[in-house]
Structure 1
């Protein structure tokens, strides 16, 4: 599959330095066929140095370079440091070809007549010398027509000779659930600084390995810097993965360390392991009929295609399931050691109830289970009302009776239909609610559920209650329904109300405060009704003979006045008899009185860090505002703070009476919370809160927010490019697009190109090591994506997003990126021509440019 390029900056001069060396551009080497290596006067001349061509036949020097071993680590070539007879290979170009030369006695090499394009150099050096990859520019070079690219390659000793790393685990064995404390000691054994030491753990991507947790963040991203001779000890706490208990029951730590560790693999390696218990990976159940009563299941006694479900004996939830093979065996892998209850589905059952009990040990094992024929579960539902007729405002009471007339116990019986016609809460339904664990109903028994609720809807004078019943093992085609019907008589009632504007803020209506000509709207009733009127000169209104039921009342006043909840429900109940009375107090919107700011104490955090949140509230008005509370992270994002609130939020918590602000008063609250693990997925942590009296029930509030970067996480995106000719939203054979370029950009119009790649012969594309965020995809060439939703891509850390990109012909093909005339950065970045660069580069560049921009532009709003 074609791999993607990320922010490569091609030029006519390149360098392959380690440790951020300055780029040097040597003069073109002089060709000679008589140069000798400095170590031997009698050595034969190098055979790979091409002889001079006649002037009319000479090709353009495409790449000229110098290769030297930096023996004194001064980052420049000195006498005696040239590397002779080293193999230098360039891969790439327009034809994805390879070209090979060797260096001469002065360490010089020449490539001629190369096709324009981006090339990747590789070196095979004597005596263990290595040209390391760099953190910021990689090692790609760009060849352009009628120009010469100069390349200086500095070799140094392997990082395994420059660094020493040791690692220990705090225990030799663990019992799940558990965490391991890893102690790392890194030592710089050289007399110079080493920048950006990173860890690359578990290159084999083993599920039982450590090295993925947030505690490793410092050794990802920019890495750590070690001064000459410095020794640094780090302690990392990481959760033992469940998979470590499977198979051999071992957790492993396998990491190598180097600057730019994704590319440089010659650094020191640590390998540790420990045993893990608490789960098993090898429990087998063999099912059959013991016809010869020898307490074994012989070959002809095995029963095939029997489905067995393992249940949690405490809550009854399904843990695992399997179907027996021709040998009657079902294997359950990866389950925690413990007690389970096995249930046979269909027309088979265990010969005795004791065989339902299953005990799985860390050592696994195998057991026989003997079967007999049994009548399957058969459920029926019936509805019984407590009286034959109701008025529409009354509470309906009923019994739902579920009976099992089958031959086996019904497991995890639940109701899958909702009571649309009645207002029945999940608390009443208990375990039989749709998301509940369900109940057991043995063969021949019934369960009765008594329910009550107000009528939500009825039709033609009838209330219908209906739904469906589910249980473990129910065939999809076997729909178990219940229904009941009862007569309903329509009733009506009245609503009267008054609205006043509380100009003196004493929370009571005074003369002259009636809100005239305010619009009042009501929604609700059974059947549903929409009501609308305006208030009279004294702010009064009424609705006569409206259907009984629950109504929500909304108000629209002139001059920005707003009706606040004051902690009272925003709904009323209408029934025959005295009118439902409503008093609504209006005052000024909260943004005129309250100013709120949120500030985080740092611009950058790591997962698990303490984030200090400073909340500052100011009363801008000339009256007291009381009962101010905070509601944070209402959308339940995993990268946000403030929900649940720590004790530091004090009276801003919703379970308190709130904060009171006198006119002009400023109050500051400081809360501390841990940066959540979910911040890794988006590379930032946020705090966003609304503030108002009774904020949970209020639609008027002021807001404050702030955010900070949490670097270290990366995600991947893969998919196919296709022209969906038949419109079935599938990438069918013959519809995929090979050799098409797709870009990821930070903004739809003028954003920077974060990554680009070219689809392979099957239309596949993939981006790896992409920082989390929202990006816009764009196709380069005579195609365009089919809609705005197809352009937008969200990337999260530690996840691979899979999606297909559907395109249609673009009658007016956009100019190529290097011709883009927009005012942003897209054109400049596209000119680099990067199409094959390893995606590890984006990790650093986006941190440097993206995170830096975030920090500079952090917002504190109110």
Structure 2
């Protein structure tokens, strides 16, 4: 009796956190899992879909509950998205004593891919008592070959609106960029340019999954390609319909009603939209910028139908429409010295490529600041600069080039400007000195947001 009680006590202590983690007394009836994994082929090309048969046998004398894959680390090239009921965190399955459970998993060859081998490895677990854990691990391998294939890309402009390619519609001069294979390590960018017929060809590129991107100076807009697969010894045909930008037929101008404003003013803006193409049932506006405190956004009621979230305006073929807008001057414009507005216009609330854009700028003078810094001889990015005395330094407005202030560096290389109108400036040096290349030296003289970089110089050539 005492021996039996001891055996039961030992088995109970070995069930921790719901899953068996230790060993039991010899001869104690329990589950015993034995996973077997096989690939459906001995070798795969990188473009193939890989399938495995996953069999878990219970060679023990008791049922195994909540059987799951407990880990799948250390593999190479084969990583299924899901293991179904067997997945980590899943409900698991019950396998009776002497029975087996069979599952099938598939996935493309994917990275990381080590030593040109597919490796699928891991282990299984059960919430039931299982004395023997040594045979719970599984591992299977298969070979990978890196075959070659090709791709033929046709870019056309549907000028006759047939919704298909017709002779003479090929678009030349479009840069085609194939990036991949992105399912294996070492993917890169393959480039070609469409010829007179709109075709670009790629030959002898590794098989696998690619994405295509397009660039063009011709104005044509070509949507990026969803993932596609280059297969062994075959040319994949890709046909992409290019579109002319809306800005070809919809013209927009945005203009302030004055060149100069003062703090507290109400700003007037004239928006002019001219449509030389087909009728546009609705045109929306999106007015934004880089986040500066001097920018105007179309968020106030004075924008009327062009307010963000507003109804927009319609434009018939050949119609010009003028919208008068009023808006309060941004509170931060006086601290920067100017106010800007920049808008895009299109048939959707989210503006894509090719829509017309327009903007304007007006001055908001009055605020002045003092600024100081140092002139340094440039010794390269890894070595601190040394002060330079007697350098004639002039500040020029970034956008107009107008000179607004001048000074000379002292014996410690320091310079100072007083009562400079707020704004953005670039430095200019004279005499035996020139500005060092590859250095960012723009002065941001804004109330509460000053940035005065060191001015790096080199002897003039």
Same fold, TM exceeding 0.5? yes
Counterpart Cα distance in 1 of 2:440 and 2:230: 55
Superposed CA deviations along residues 10-53 of structure 1, whole A, max 9, x for unmatched, are xxxxxxxxxxxxxxxxxxxxxxxxxxxxxxxxxxxxxxxxxxxx
Q: Structure 1 residues 745, 514: closer, same or farther in 2, change over 3 A?
A: closer
Residue of structure 1 equivalent to 2:395:
744
- Match of residue 686, structure 1, among 340, 343, 346: 340
Matched, 1:562 2:220: yes
Q: Aligned runs of 1:475-494 on 2, under 5 Å?
A: none
Q: Structure 1 residues 561, 603: closer, same or farther in 2, change over 3 A?
A: closer
Residue of structure 2 equivalent to 1:706:
360
Matched, 1:717 2:371: yes
Q: In structure 2, list runs of 5 or more residues that go unmatched.
A: 1-69, 90-106, 119-140
- Match of residue 796, structure 1, among 437, 440, 446: 446
Counterpart Cα distance in 1 of 2:449 and 2:358: 30
Q: Aligned runs of 1:408-487 on 2, under 5 Å?
A: 458=112, 460=114, 461=116
Matched, 1:551 2:206: no
Q: Measure how far apart 1:653 and its partner are.
A: 7.3
Instruction: For residue 563 of structure 1, give the secondary structure of its aligned residue in structure 2.
Output: coil
Any conservation in 2 of the 1:596–1:702 contact (CA below 8 Å)?
Answer: yes
Residue of structure 2 equivalent to 1:770:
420
Any conservation in 2 of the 1:494–1:574 contact (CA below 8 Å)?
Answer: no
Q: Structure 1 residues 385, 766: closer, same or farther in 2, change over 3 A?
A: farther
Q: Structure 1 residues 543, 763: closer, same or farther in 2, change over 3 A?
A: closer
Q: Structure 1 residues 550, 391: closer, same or farther in 2, change over 3 A?
A: farther
Q: Structure 1 residues 682, 760: closer, same or farther in 2, change over 3 A?
A: same
Superposed CA deviations along residues 90-131 of structure 1, whole A, max 9, x for unmatched, are xxxxxxxxxxxxxxxxxxxxxxxxxxxxxxxxxxxxxxxxxx
Matched, 1:615 2:271: yes
Superposed CA deviations along residues 807-844 of structure 1, whole A, max 9, x for unmatched, are 44558xxxxxxxxxxxxxxxxxxxxxxxxxxxxxxxxx
Instruction: For residue 345 of structure 2, give the secondary structure of its aligned residue in structure 1.
Output: strand
Residue of structure 1 equivalent to 2:31:
none
Q: Measure how far apart 1:803 and its partner are.
A: 3.4
Matched, 1:600 2:256: yes
Q: Structure 1 residues 793, 561: closer, same or farther in 2, change over 3 A?
A: closer
Q: Measure how far apart 1:752 and its partner are.
A: 5.2
Matched, 1:662 2:316: yes
Q: Structure 1 residues 554, 804: closer, same or farther in 2, change over 3 A?
A: closer
Matched, 1:508 2:163: yes
Any conservation in 2 of the 1:746–1:776 contact (CA below 8 Å)?
Answer: yes
Matched, 1:528 2:179: no
Relative to total residues, which structure has the larger strand share, 1 or 2? 2
Q: Measure how far apart 1:389 and its partner are.
A: 5.5
Any conservation in 2 of the 1:564–1:698 contact (CA below 8 Å)?
Answer: no
Matched, 1:638 2:293: yes
Residue correspondences, number: 340
Q: Measure how far apart 1:572 and its partner are.
A: 0.5
Q: Measure how far apart 1:641 and its partner are.
A: 1.8
Residue of structure 1 equivalent to 2:330:
676
Q: Measure how far apart 1:457 and its partner are.
A: 5.8
Any conservation in 1 of the 2:335–2:367 contact (CA below 8 Å)?
Answer: yes
Residue of structure 1 equivalent to 2:63:
none
Q: Measure how far apart 1:511 and its partner are.
A: 5.2
Counterpart Cα distance in 2 of 1:696 and 1:710: 31
Any conservation in 1 of the 2:378–2:436 contact (CA below 8 Å)?
Answer: no
Q: Structure 1 residues 795, 457: closer, same or farther in 2, change over 3 A?
A: farther
Q: Measure how far apart 1:597 and its partner are.
A: 0.6
Counterpart Cα distance in 1 of 2:146 and 2:313: 44
Residue of structure 2 equivalent to 1:475:
none
Superposed CA deviations along residues 790-819 of structure 1, whole A, max 9, x for unmatched, are 7653422334434333444558xxxxxxxx
Q: Measure how far apart 1:684 and its partner are.
A: 0.6
Instruction: For residue 680 of structure 1, give the secondary structure of its aligned residue in structure 2.
Output: helix
Any conservation in 1 of the 2:271–2:323 contact (CA below 8 Å)?
Answer: yes
Q: Structure 1 residues 764, 668: closer, same or farther in 2, change over 3 A?
A: same
Q: Measure how far apart 1:664 and its partner are.
A: 0.8
Any conservation in 2 of the 1:603–1:708 contact (CA below 8 Å)?
Answer: yes
Any conservation in 2 of the 1:740–1:779 contact (CA below 8 Å)?
Answer: yes
Q: What TM-score, normalized to structure 2?
A: 0.55
Q: Aligned runs of 1:750-761 on 2, under 5 Å?
A: 753-761=403-411
Q: Measure how far apart 1:687 and its partner are.
A: 0.9
Counterpart Cα distance in 1 of 2:335 and 2:109: 45
Instruction: For residue 295 of structure 2, give the secondary structure of its aligned residue in structure 1.
Output: coil
Q: Structure 1 residues 550, 699: closer, same or farther in 2, change over 3 A?
A: farther
Counterpart Cα distance in 2 of 1:716 and 1:688: 30
